[in-house]
Structure 1
Amino acid sequence: MTTKQEAAAAVRDAKVRLGLSWAQVAEAVGRPVAWTTAALLGQHPMPAAEATAAAALLELDDNVVMALRLQPTRGALDTAVPVDPTIYRFYEVLQVYGPTIKELIHEQFGDGIMSAINFRMDVKKVADPAGDRVVVTLDGKFLPYQW
């Protein structure tokens, strides 16, 4: 049986081999690009129709389809502190701004958290005279603590 990690590697290889973008794959799957990318990298189970659509576009076999449908063990970091520079910068952002984000959530919403389950994400490139900007939107439902 193909594992989710093996399926993710096959997806990435096929995407490069076929010259496809994540946006093109997401269009074929019929889901948002951030969700589709996360699912194909092993972080979400995919419904059969979506897994089959992705596999057909990427020319992957039924073993990959089965792996894409499996329930994942979420969390993709191999170490507590990420070493990949792009991922580490998000870790750094949370180290620096995490307490501020927490304070502002509590001030504006009350005692609770932002859901990572009822969640949407988007990544955009925005042109800027000083150099292109990366805009990451994290959009999670507020979940109040229940006492």
Structure 2
Amino acid sequence: MTTRAELTEKIVAHKTFNDIKWADVATAVGQSKEWVTAALMGQISLSKDQIEKAGNALGLNFSDEETALLMTVPYRGSLPSAVPTDPLIYRLYEVISVYGTTMKTLIEEEFGDGIMSAIDFTMDISREENPAGDRVKIVLDGKFLPYKMY
């Protein structure tokens, strides 16, 4: 029996070996590169049609067992430890550690007491060329959900 983690490793290894870009898989699936990558990394479930399109783009024929795993609503949260050890993920963690209270304060000042949805949500990751060194641009766009009084 294959685990979801093993299937993710298979997908990533095949994609890497064959020099396939997530953006190309996303185009074939018809969703954003961020969403498709999250799904194929095990954080979002896909439909049979999306799995077939992703498999075609990757050059993979998913078995019935693998298709079922990709269709299953996942247990979300993919970090192997409470504090990330991967340098890139750690830097994002550091951004939240340093600026999280600032983000929270400014969001509450603008919107009131509530949260930003990670369900009604989009993300865009892009590259901005810069003579001093290219920049990573990450845009998180989530619906504001106020806490209700009852």
TM range (shorter): over 0.9
Matched residues in 1 for 2:46 and 2:32: separation? 13
- Unmatched 5+ residue regions in structure 1? none
State whether structure 2 residue 119 is matched by structure 1 residue 123.
Answer: no
The Cα shift of 1:56 comes to: 2.5
> Is the 8 Å Cα contact of residues 42 and 74 (structure 2) preserved in structure 1?
yes
The Cα shift of 1:119 comes to: 0.8
Worse-superposed segment, 3-12 or 105-114 = 3-12
> Is the 8 Å Cα contact of residues 26 and 33 (structure 1) preserved in structure 2?
yes
State the one-letter code of the partner of 1:56. Answer: N
| Secondary structure at 1:121 match in 2 | strand
Classify 1:60/1:14 alpha carbon distance in 2 versus 1 (closer, same or farther; 3 Å).
farther
- Unmatched 5+ residue regions in structure 2? none
The Cα shift of 1:2 comes to: 2.8
TM-score w.r.t. length of structure 2: 0.94
TM-score w.r.t. length of structure 1: 0.96
> Is the 8 Å Cα contact of residues 55 and 64 (structure 1) preserved in structure 2?
no
State whether structure 2 residue 87 is matched by structure 1 residue 85.
Answer: yes
> Is the 8 Å Cα contact of residues 24 and 57 (structure 2) preserved in structure 1?
no
State the superposition RMSD in angstroms.
1.1
Partner of 1:61: 62
State the one-letter code of the partner of 1:126. Answer: E
Count residues in correspondence. Answer: 147
Matched residues in 2 for 1:76 and 1:121: separation? 17
> Is the 8 Å Cα contact of residues 127 and 136 (structure 2) preserved in structure 1?
yes
Q: How does 1:1-147 map to 2 (within 5 A)?
A: 1-58=1-58, 59-62=60-63, 63-147=65-149
**Matched-pair identity in %:** 48
State the one-letter code of the partner of 1:129. Answer: P
Matched residues in 2 for 1:61 and 1:100: separation? 44
